[in-house]
Amino acid sequence: MARRAAEFLQQNYESQLAQSFYLRQLADRNQKDVDARGETKLTKEVKNISLSVLEQQRRYLIEKNKADPNLDESLLRKYLHIIDIEEEKIRHM
């Protein structure tokens, strides 16, 4: 799926990719997903490090939420959800 998205952006929106930071970021993210597929089995050490980083991000967001009552709750939930998804991907690699 990531490969198809990366190819689609390159083939159909080459000039827009040169002009739009967002589209370049989208293309880069998909290309990184394609490149990462070669490393399908992570070592236990790499998994543990990756999971630790995600846990630190989760803790940061929770602490930020406690400290800032004006923090947008939907934004917080969005990023916590992203962390949860990344965690599941790592656990299944």
Distance separating alpha carbons of residues 76 and 71, to the nearest angstrom:
8
Per-residue pLDDT reduced to its tens digit, 60-70: 999 999 999 89
pLDDT band at 3 (very low <50, low <70, confident <90, very high): confident
Give which of 55, 52, 46, 30 is closest to 93, Cα–Cα.
46
Q: What is the pTM of this model?
A: 0.65
The pLDDT value given to residue 37: 65
The pLDDT value given to residue 40: 60
The pLDDT value given to residue 23: 87
Distance separating alpha carbons of residues 21 and 29, to the nearest angstrom:
12
**CA distances in angstroms from 54 to 2, 23, 81, 89, listed in the order given:** 22, 26, 11, 12
The pLDDT value given to residue 74: 94
